[in-house]
């Protein structure tokens, strides 16, 4: 059978149209990313929870890979306010990772998920066996509680108005369910669960700390949180490895200086790199 030129053109268009529909169908059937990231990287599941890694360019990656574990990895975080900061980490060859533990407030369940992410990255993805932690706001509960239980795995802790005392935020009523306790049970055993009651373990282990915190923070009061942690380091004779930048006139907000704090960025990069054998 012979086709005219018009017929050939029509057939070609039909094939192109069919392939196009197939491509659209393929694209629409592709699963959405586990987590949307502000910078290039990989999102995946660990024990059924969304996790992520933002990676340096290939030419800046290392084996083992130095990294920062970030918290709180809730759906909105890390966010655009932090983009500059994370760009500096990645430019320095440091990966940034986190896992969504929900509103865990430093609970054993949240710590378990952080350990699961740590195991995933160190055993399957050639990440360094020691990590620098970075906690923003309630992320401070996540990283401090995990660090207290894993001082041998931590090279340092950086914090942006971090919570260490869960009685100040989120309070016992909200924290107790995350710990699987009633408010009364939580109240009676608070020192077993509250990171601020055990930060002396970090001080005795001389885990370096760098914090920036506003002196007008009403959500996470500096005195009960960052200042108390620094005082515990002084008591333990570890004052030389802990630094607190107190920002006058700032509260719990999006002031750019919190997220473009070069000393904090330099600290986190240096501590992450300490995990790499020389």
Q: Provide the CATH number for the domain around residue 209.
A: 3.40.50.1820
Query: Does residue 57 or residue 25 have the better pLDDT?
Result: 57
Q: Are residues 2 and 53 in the same domain?
A: no
Q: Are residues 117 and 179 in the same domain?
A: yes
Which two three-digit tokens encode residue 248? 């006058």
Q: Are residues 207 and 99 in the same domain?
A: yes
Query: Is 269 within 8 Å of 92 (Cβ atoms)?
Result: yes
Confidence (pLDDT) at 25: 35
Residue 242 inside a domain? The answer is yes
Residue 102 inside a domain? The answer is yes
| Radius of gyration over every alpha carbon of the chain, rounded to an integer in angstroms | 23
Confidence (pLDDT) at 33: 74
Report the chain's mean pLDDT, rounded to a whole number.
Answer: 91
Q: How far apart are CA 61 and CA 43, in angstroms?
A: 18
Three-class SS of residue 149?
Answer: helix
Q: How far apart are CA 97 and CA 38, in angstroms?
A: 12
Q: Are residues 96 and 177 in the same domain?
A: yes
Q: Are residues 59 and 159 in the same domain?
A: yes
Give the model's confidence band at 30: pLDDT under 50 very low, under 70 low, under 90 confident, else very high: low
Return the axis-axis angle of helices 139-149 and 108-124, rounded to nearest 10°. Answer: 70
CA contacts within 13 A on the Cβ side of 136: 23
Residue 71 inside a domain? The answer is yes
Q: How far apart are CA 81 and CA 255, in angstroms?
A: 9
Residue 221 to residues 62, 65, 202, 265, Cα–Cα distance (Å): 39, 35, 21, 23
Give the model's confidence band at 226: pLDDT under 50 very low, under 70 low, under 90 confident, else very high: very high
- What is the domain extent for residue 19? 1-30
Confidence (pLDDT) at 240: 98
pTM of the model: 0.88
Residue 97 inside a domain? The answer is yes
pLDDT above 90 (res 8) = no
Q: How far apart are CA 277 and CA 28, in angstroms?
A: 45
Q: Per-residue pLDDT averaged across 77-97, rounded?
A: 97
Full strand arrangement of the beta sheet holding 154-160: 41-46, 49-54, 95-99, 67-71, 131-136, 154-160, 209-214, 242-247
Q: Are residues 65 and 25 in the same domain?
A: no
pLDDT above 70 (res 4) = no
Residue 262 inside a domain? The answer is yes
Residue 167 inside a domain? The answer is yes
Q: Per-residue pLDDT averaged across 49-62, rounded?
A: 96
Q: Are residues 2 and 50 in the same domain?
A: no
* Cis before 78 (ω within 30): yes
Q: Are strands 209-214 and 67-71 parallel, antiparallel or unpaired?
A: unpaired
Residue 174 inside a domain? The answer is yes
Confidence (pLDDT) at 29: 53
Q: Which region among 38-42, 92-96, 212-216 has the lowest average model confidence (pLDDT)?
A: 38-42
Q: Are residues 106 and 225 in the same domain?
A: yes
Q: Per-residue pLDDT averaged across 45-69, rounded?
A: 97
Q: Are residues 112 and 199 in the same domain?
A: yes
Strand partners, 52: 43, 98
DSSP calls for 22-82: HHHHHHHHSPPPSS--SSSEEEEEETTEEEEEE---GGG--SSBPEEEEE---TT-S-GGG
Q: Are residues 63 and 117 in the same domain?
A: yes
Confidence (pLDDT) at 14: 42
Residue 209 inside a domain? The answer is yes
Give the model's confidence band at 31: pLDDT under 50 very low, under 70 low, under 90 confident, else very high: low
Give the model's confidence band at 5: pLDDT under 50 very low, under 70 low, under 90 confident, else very high: very low
How wide is the angle at C-alpha 68 spanned by C-alphas 65 and 73, nearest 5°? 125
Give the model's confidence band at 258: pLDDT under 50 very low, under 70 low, under 90 confident, else very high: very high
Q: Are residues 18 and 47 in the same domain?
A: no
pLDDT tens, position by position, 153-201: 999 999 999 999 999 999 999 999 999 999 999 999 999 999 999 999 9
Three-class SS of residue 159?
Answer: strand
Query: Is 186 within 8 Å of 172 (Cβ atoms)?
Result: yes
Express as a percent the part of the chain with pLDDT over 70.
88
Q: Count the domains in the chain.
A: 2
Q: Are residues 75 and 25 in the same domain?
A: no
């Amino acid at each position: 059978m012979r086709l005219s030129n018009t017929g050939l053109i029509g057939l070609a268009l039909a094939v192109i149209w069919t392939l196009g529909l197939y491509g659209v169908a393929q694209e629409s059937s592709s699963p959405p990313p586990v987590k949307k990231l502000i910078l290039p990287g990989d999102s995946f599941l660990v024990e059924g929870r969304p996790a992520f890694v933002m990676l340096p360019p290939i030419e800046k990656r290392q084996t083992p890979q130095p990294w920062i574990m970030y918290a709180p990895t809730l759906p909105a975080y890390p966010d655009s306010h932090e983009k500059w900061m994370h760009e500096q980490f990645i430019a320095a060859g440091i990966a940034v990772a986190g896992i969504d533990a929900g509103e865990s407030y430093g609970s054993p369940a949240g710590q378990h998920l952080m350990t699961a992410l740590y195991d995933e990255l160190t055993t399957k993805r050639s990440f360094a066996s020691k990590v620098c932690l970075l906690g923003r706001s309630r992320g401070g509960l996540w990283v401090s509680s995990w660090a207290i239980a894993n001082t041998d795995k931590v090279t340092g802790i950086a914090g942006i108005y971090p919570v260490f005392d869960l009685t100040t935020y989120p309070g016992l009523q909200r924290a107790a369910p995350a710990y699987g306790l009633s408010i009364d049970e939580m109240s009676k055993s608070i020192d077993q669960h509250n990171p601020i009651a055990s930060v002396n373990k970090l001080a005795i282990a001389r885990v370096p700390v760098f914090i920036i915190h506003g002196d007008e923070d009403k959500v996470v009061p500096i005195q009960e949180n960052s200042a108390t942690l620094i005082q515990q380091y002084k008591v333990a004779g570890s004052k030389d490895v802990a630094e607190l930048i107190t920002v006058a006139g700032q509260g719990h907000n999006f002031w750019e200086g919190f997220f473009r704090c070069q000393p904090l960025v330099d600290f986190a990069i240096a501590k992450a790199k300490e995990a790499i054998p020389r």
